[in-house]
Structure 1
Amino acid sequence: MARSEIDYGGMMHRAMQGLIANVLEDVARNGLPGEHHFFITFDTREDGVEMADWLRDRYPEEMTIVIQHWFDNLTVDDEGFTITLNFGNSPEPLRIPFDALRTFVDPSVEFGLRFETQDSEDDDEDEADEDFAGEDGDDDHSPDDGPPGGGEVVQLDRWRK
């Protein structure tokens, strides 16, 4: 069966997931270099997300984690990653599939990616936009605040003809 078009949106989505996987694999092997740290927002309802019941109750739809000063047991595979993070002096393991990711931001270098979801097949928007967010100096970030920002969202639609 012949394809009617090239799925650039899906290909970009998978490529961006691969980039995040490569970054996390490097951090798992070598730790976080310099001032790098990550804000990762994910959909807690996505199949394959594993987290403590009390965290799921607190974040029933979306959660942002910060990978910075303390984390443990970071492992990456083809489908996602696992990590143990500290929540109020309570270490909790998380399993986050790459398909659950909504944003990945490294404010130390003003780099970010935003994964858009498609609720219907008729939706013409790309699944993936690039989002460049800057550091705003907020060290008291809580998981439900979302990543620090102020950057511009660059829509891929600008270059479509």
Structure 2
Amino acid sequence: MSATIDYGNLMHRAMRGLIQQVLNDVALNGLPGQHHFFITFDTMHPDVEIADSLSDRYPEEMTIVMQHWYRDLEVTDEGFSVTLNFGDQPEPLYIPYDAIRTFVDPSVEFGLRFETQEEAGEYPPPTPVEDGDPPPTRRRSKPKPKGDGEVVSLDSFRKT
């Protein structure tokens, strides 16, 4: 048994489980009301499956929008697959939960941000930041969707 409780990994798993539950409900019942999702993921993750043309265009990360048109949403314990339209061309995608960097539903100002994994199963230690400073990232990130919503970084809950 470990000498400490690994709250960081427990929170990451719980939040990915929340995403799985939300997507599973959408797969069964569709998107309710004005809900829609911006999902940013690591295109270099070894289990991501996207067309070569998309990985060439987005060599590090990509943000998809699930709103008006999507089909074939299938949710598993490891990730989800969905077909989205890119320039009037339907493209199937498979995204494991471990590849997700942000999950945002701007209709209700809800968002999650996951720090990148440095080693399988271990998340980087928190980096001290000044009040009001965004957490540092190792890779370029897309601009946040407009709105007053707040993205929660799970590392802010870790003790140093």
Q: Scaled by the length of structure 1, what TM-score is found?
A: 0.80
Structure 1 residue 4 displacement after superposition: 1.4
What's the Cα RMSD here? 2.4
User: CA-to-partner distance for each residue in 1:40-87, whole Å, 9 max, x for gaps?
Assistant: 000000011001000000001100000000000000001000000000
User: CA-to-partner distance for each residue in 1:100-133, whole Å, 9 max, x for gaps?
Assistant: 000000000000000001436694229xxxxxxx
> Identity across aligned pairs (percent)?
64
Structure 1 residue 33 displacement after superposition: 0.3
Tell me if the contact between 1:39 and 1:147 (Cα under 8 Å) persists in the aligned partners.
no
Which runs of structure 2 are paired with 1:82-97 in the superposition (5 Å)? 82-97=81-96
Q: 1:123 to 1:27 in 2, by over 3 A?
A: closer
1:103 corresponding residue in structure 2: 102
Structure 1 residue 145 displacement after superposition: 4.8
Q: Which amino acid aligns with 2:125?
A: D
Q: 1:159 to 1:86 in 2, by over 3 A?
A: closer
Which runs of structure 2 are paired with 1:72-83 in the superposition (5 Å)? 72-83=71-82
1:125 corresponding residue in structure 2: 126
* Structure 2 portions without partners, runs of 5+: 128-140
CA distance in 1: counterparts of 2:152 and 2:21, whole angstroms:
23
* Residue 57 of structure 2 corresponds to residue 58 of structure 1: yes
Q: 1:153 to 1:41 in 2, by over 3 A?
A: closer
CA distance in 2: counterparts of 1:102 and 1:116, whole angstroms:
7
CA distance in 1: counterparts of 2:47 and 2:17, whole angstroms:
18
Q: 1:96 to 1:66 in 2, by over 3 A?
A: same
Tell me if the contact between 1:70 and 1:85 (Cα under 8 Å) persists in the aligned partners.
yes
Aligned residues: 143
Tell me if the contact between 1:44 and 1:62 (Cα under 8 Å) persists in the aligned partners.
yes
* Structure 1 portions without partners, runs of 5+: 127-143
Tell me if the contact between 2:110 and 2:150 (Cα under 8 Å) persists in the aligned partners.
no
1:148 corresponding residue in structure 2: 145
Q: 1:17 to 1:158 in 2, by over 3 A?
A: closer
CA distance in 2: counterparts of 1:80 and 1:16, whole angstroms:
13
Q: Which amino acid aligns with 1:89?
A: D
Q: Scaled by the length of structure 2, what TM-score is found?
A: 0.81
2:10 corresponding residue in structure 1: 11
Q: 1:153 to 1:122 in 2, by over 3 A?
A: closer
Tell me if the contact between 1:64 and 1:147 (Cα under 8 Å) persists in the aligned partners.
no
